[in-house]
Chain A
Amino acid sequence: MIIARLVGLCLRRRITRERLDRALKKLDFPGRARPASRGGNTVRVSCVQRRLRLVKSPEQYVDMLFSFAQQAYGQGSRLLVFPEYNFFDLFGLVPGFSLLDRFFRRTAGGSKASGGGKDPVAALMANIFNEIAAAVESCCEIIISRLALGFGLYIYSGSYLTKEGGRLYNAGSLFGPDGGKIGTQKKIHLTDFEAALGLCPHCGMEVYRLPIGSVAFPICMDATYFETFRVARDKGADVVILPIANMEEYDLWKSLRGIWTRVQETYTYGLKSSLNGWIAGMHFTGKAGVFAPLELTPGKDGVIALADHWEGDCLVTADINFSELEEARKNAEYYGDSNPDFERYYIKRAYTGL
């Protein structure tokens, strides 16, 4: 508990509003903020894949996020998507974190299993997450808001921690080109490890109708469940943003269980951003990508663009087109049917007892 409090105190002291403002003021934003529209119903989007780096200063963290926004702007994107747990780098601000990291690495093996309530790593991380949540949330929102305004982009913040009514959530927010927050989505389906950390699952989802399309932004594990994307589509989503930080070695077949299949079921575009690298004995891997129904992709494989490797930094950029999406929905062989007699009692018959 003392360690957690010290970590919290340290982050709060080093990440102040004033310091972030000073760092943001030094950035070289373009004179003309908004990237050119692609015309018609086409929108260019960029998904970040990045390696986790423990930063030595808040300025270094700001610069790192800025460089991705600058690239996306330079490539003409209107939407930029950062990954899940986009704040992990900030642990580098904690003096002596390398010692803590070593402790985590030594004991993390057992922490990946479920039932980590008694696990020392899970217990410590739970306390740390609670202590740092407010500082992390504020830091991410200040930076992303300014980047969105400075480049005239829609930017999904990546996920961070947020506390509400004493409950801790994994959440991310979308900011508009005016720097304003459009909305926040908390994670709906947790991993066993997150549950062991005391994170809470959220029970709601909003879809936002924007000039760049109707957008929902669930988080990582949410894509393992068809129900998430079904709800998003029923609420009108054409684009589903999905930040990930997969705590496992990369495996193609495992990766196919997520957003790629969900996009095929729901005839939406899927934008995946990914965090990779090591922290606290945990290894994160994953490829950023832009996905679409098979018939809308050049190789008929559901992939518009994909990172070459599951580790390292890159920006995956692609165009998505809503007229083509609508056309594909109309012509789809295995999509779009409904069965009111079967669906009427679906929730009760399928999920009662959970």
Chain B
Amino acid sequence: MRRRAEKGSRARMKVGAVEWLEHELTGIGSAGKLLELIRSRLLKAEEAGIGMIVLPAFTGCLFQLLESGRNNLGGLTGAAEARGYLEKVSRLSEGLRMTICPGSYFDADSQGTFHQSCLITDGRLLHTQRQLYLSRWERTLGLSRGAEARVLETDGWRVGIVMPTDAFYPQVSRMLAMNGVGLVLAPSGITGPQNETLQLCGMWRETQLNQFFAAESCYNGRAGDRPLWGESRIHAPLGMTEGGDGFLARSRGSEGLISAVLNMQGREEAITDFNVLRRLNAEFYRRAGLFGGEGE
């Protein structure tokens, strides 16, 4: 099977996932204060030796709301300008020895307004990812959908970003896994009634379905008019985790930064006995017309 090898992988890497705790966001009245909060987390992460970090989804949206003086996410559609947020985060990243996924933001162009994220390292924008599927409330905002799940090779790792709603659409993670992704960064923020079980149906499920690593970073509090929740977690195949539960680290709602060392070789060993992707049945998917058929 094709699943691309991760050439020249750096065997181990420490990843981090930030969590915004509700009380931290409640009092934030300006974009500057939000940047201060981000900066303090990044410095803490650098101190901890983290090489790649992900911030919660909607962090950039909150920045955009605070900068524009708007108080609802719908107000950003059609007018969202991502450049300001990305410039500020790029500046924060300068001199730090880590790759940063700065959460998500809205970005408008001639084709529509997209829910988007990216990777930044030392002041440079390395990679962008648009959300491919929309939740019910995102559809009411009139957001547009991206068209591809992109892969970045950095530091010897093949990395992809799974946007918050895309975590509930397994075809996105599968596409990344089949293109050799070993680490998924998942800026997250779930809407609707708080239910820990629902979160399992996102990145936990995707990790076990594809046996990659995933760092999930959650937003707790309001982004404008939208209440969001979730627990930051670092996921691995079940066989790699101490409790056999798929979690390398969890915030449990009380930690603003969690981290774990990812061991690529350990992962290869853990999935030897149960390698999910080995038994895919592509012929069945073709004949059954999965997602409409044969393709290009």
Residues on A lying within 8 angstroms of B by beta carbon are 113-114, 188-192, 195, 201-205, 221, 224-227, 230-231, 234-235, 251, 253-254, 256-257, 261, 264-265, 294, 300-302, 331-354
Instruction: Determine if B2 and A354 form an interchain contact, defined as CB atoms under 8 angstroms apart.
Output: yes
- Which chain A residues lie closer than 8 Å to B193 at the CB level? 300
> How does the 8 Å CB contact mask read for B203-240 relative to A, with 1 for contact and 0 for none?
00100110000000000000000000000000000100
B259 within 8 A of A: no
User: A-B pairs with the 4 shortest C-beta distances?
Assistant: A353-B2, A348-B295, A334-B168, A351-B282
B149 to chain A, nearest CB (A): 7
In chain B, positions 242-288 with a C-beta closer than 8 Å to chain A are 244-246, 273, 276, 278-288
Known: A226-B174, A226-B209, A227-B290. A351 touches B137 (CB 8 A): no
Residues on B lying within 8 angstroms of A by beta carbon are 1-2, 132-137, 139, 145-149, 165, 168-171, 174-175, 178-179, 191-193, 195, 197-198, 200-201, 205, 208-209, 238, 244-246, 273, 276, 278-296
Instruction: Determine if A342 and B292 form an interchain contact, defined as CB atoms under 8 angstroms apart.
Output: no
- Which chain B residues lie closer than 8 Å to A202 at the CB level? 284
Instruction: Determine if A344 and B165 form an interchain contact, defined as CB atoms under 8 angstroms apart.
Output: no
Instruction: Determine if B285 and A347 form an interchain contact, defined as CB atoms under 8 angstroms apart.
Output: yes
Instruction: Determine if A342 and B280 form an interchain contact, defined as CB atoms under 8 angstroms apart.
Output: no
Count contacts between A and B, CB distance < 8 Å: 177
Bound-complex Cα distance A172 to B137 (A): 41
B146, B179, B282, B293 interface centre (most CB from chain A within 10 Å): B282
Bound-complex Cα distance A294 to B198 (A): 7
Bound-complex Cα distance A300 to B293 (A): 35
Instruction: Determine if B284 and A201 form an interchain contact, defined as CB atoms under 8 angstroms apart.
Output: yes
Instruction: Determine if B178 and A333 form an interchain contact, defined as CB atoms under 8 angstroms apart.
Output: no
- Which chain A residues lie closer than 8 Å to B170 at the CB level? 226, 230, 265
Instruction: Determine if B246 and A346 form an interchain contact, defined as CB atoms under 8 angstroms apart.
Output: no
- Which chain A residues lie closer than 8 Å to B149 at the CB level? 342
- Which chain A residues lie closer than 8 Å to B290 at the CB level? 227, 230-231, 234, 346-347
B201 to chain A, nearest CB (A): 4
